[in-house]
Amino acid sequence: MTQQEIVSYWIGKARDELDSANIMFNANKHLYAGFMCHQAIEKALKARYIYLKDDRQPYEHNLERLSKMTDLFDKMTEEQRNTMRKLVPLYINARYEDYKNVMAELLTSQYCKKLILDTEVLLTWILHSMTQRADS
């Protein structure tokens, strides 16, 4: 596969994950909707990493570290960073049974709906960054 094909693959996966977040939300599976939001941003950041580095995606799940590896962290607004920070615990904590109840309480319908909207905005921004020069 070419670099562009790999980038396109990861972009497609990121969009699929956001679609899955909406499906989970509509099924009142808020914990899994949040997890899918995390996955959407993670995969978009991996697409950008490959776009910039022409290298294999890193085996990294921490969104803040990925955003730094892709030179986006310093370009993010505080709102974008806050969205990312809200997503980070949904990757690891959501997998452990004792955290599920805590996370489920946090992920009310209203909170989750806003999280999905904020994820969509962040995802769009990350994908847009790949249509500009890497150093801009």
Residue of 37, 48, 84 lying closest to 76 (CA atoms) = 84
Q: What predicted TM-score, i.e. pTM, was given to this entire model?
A: 0.90
**Distance of alpha carbon 39 from alpha carbon 87, whole angstroms:** 9
Note the helical H segments in the chain: 3-26, 30-53, 63-69, 78-92, 97-106, 109-129
Each domain of the chain, given as residue ranges in start order, spans 3-129
Architecture of domain 3-129: Up-down Bundle (1.20)
- Per-residue pLDDT tens for 53-94? 877 887 888 999 999 999 999 999 999 999 999 998 887 655
Residue 136 pLDDT: 39
Phi and psi at residue 57, in whole multiples of 5°?
A: -65, 145
- The answer to whether the Cα torsion of 69, 75, 79, 80 is positive or negative is negative
